[in-house]
Structure 1
Amino acid sequence: MSRRDDLDRFYDLLGKVAARVGGPRRLKRCTGYMDWPDRGVYFFLEPGESRSESDQSRVTRVGTHAVSTGSGTSLWDRLKQHYGTGSGSSDHPHGGNHRGSVYRKRVGEAIIAKYDLHEEYPAWDDRWSSIDRDRSAVRDEEYILERRVSTYIREQPFLWVDVDDEPSADSDRAYIEQNAIALLSNVAEETVDPRADGWLGKYSRSREIRESGLWNVNHVEDEYDPAFLDVFADAVKRTTPP
């Protein structure tokens, strides 16, 4: 089987997930009160962009959670980190913490580059441990950009599969995530499903993001194991609406 054949199968399985859960969701309409699986793998899609030879929305980020032994992070915990803060946050409603979400950090970097906002957000790439100013002042400074990141991510449709295995680097969740990224990535591979010129990720300072067409950096240059699609197919069968 060719990579294109495996991509076709991958997207066919995503279509089956969508049918099982009633279609993709958007974070702006999701809450922790929904019946999410405890553990799983999620796939964000790009609004308005489809695969080169079909109308299937293309995947732009793959992620999971709790792959360290002993971790108790749930699927919703991770999605909530990407979502950011809600309307009830008294200090920074609809903002977020990009230092707790690599996805938010990467989206913010691309917005900064696209609109030349480096002077407005000089500490965006810094860890808290390297910032010697008052944290509340930094949060206030970065609030407008955090809101822009929230708006962008909450509009991304996403799907997920239920993979309720124990936290481990050898978990099925890690296996699906790593191989899905490697399969979807266009780094050092024939470009399949090219990204639209206006895709925000093309402004990323990360070569891996620009070339892969994904908001992922890890595993974009890996070889994928086609057998992961069988594990993915089993996960699809277990997935139910939240």
Structure 2
Amino acid sequence: TALLGSIGVVVEVAVRKEADGIKRYTVTSSNAPNKRPDLDTEQGRAEIAKSIDALAEVFVAKVARNLAVEPEDVPAMGDHGGLKVGAAAVEAGLAHRLGSLESLIAELASPAATQRKPSMTIVRTTAELQAAIAAGTDPKTLQIAAAEPLDLDAIKAEAGASAAKAERERITGIHALAAKGFEKEIAAAIEEGRSVEATALTLFKAAQDRGIGLAGIKADATGTTGAQPPKSTGPDTADAWSRTMKKIGG
């Protein structure tokens, strides 16, 4: 453990006198009175004791960590500065077991004494990774969980169902725009995979080319004789035209 501080200046002067011999004087800078505590005084000894107590706290904390006990229990375990020998030390919790230097050397030299692989902490998400690091986990023991295998069949089935639903909705929407005289445009839109909005624009332009306005398309909607879509309980064709033209800004 490092000791830091002792900031200040001290000068020691030796003066030789015939009667008294050599006399030494210590002069300390006024900003560092504790740099040379006077052990002849209670105050000086108390200043030295502060540093000793601080070192003792560090020592006790290390012992408590290595023995997995509470720091406040350590002084009593060690007989408050006394000594424990052999079985008494084991009983007090200062040692794990009895042994000899020779047996310890042999144990360390055996293959079983090879360094154990540290247990790994598996994390699956960024949140778990951040929590592990915040908890003080050694980054070397962190392991990212392997990605779970994808169920391709389930993904394909879900995608197929979504696509089928979207296609049914597209065809239903196009049929809802059907008006008399535009049967070919409706059939082409379904065949070519056009969206409902694109089909509405196509029908609108075709109607303009024939001199028919949007109101005329709506008026003819109820008299459509072309291919009939599946019966629906939804809004009629005129309503479908109104909704679709709003979406495309018509």
- Greater Rg by CA: 2
TM-score (norm 2): 0.16
Which protein is richer in helix relative to its size? 2
TM-score normalised per structure 1: 0.17
Which structure would you say has the larger RCO, counting Cα contacts within 8 Å and 6 or more residues apart?
Answer: 1
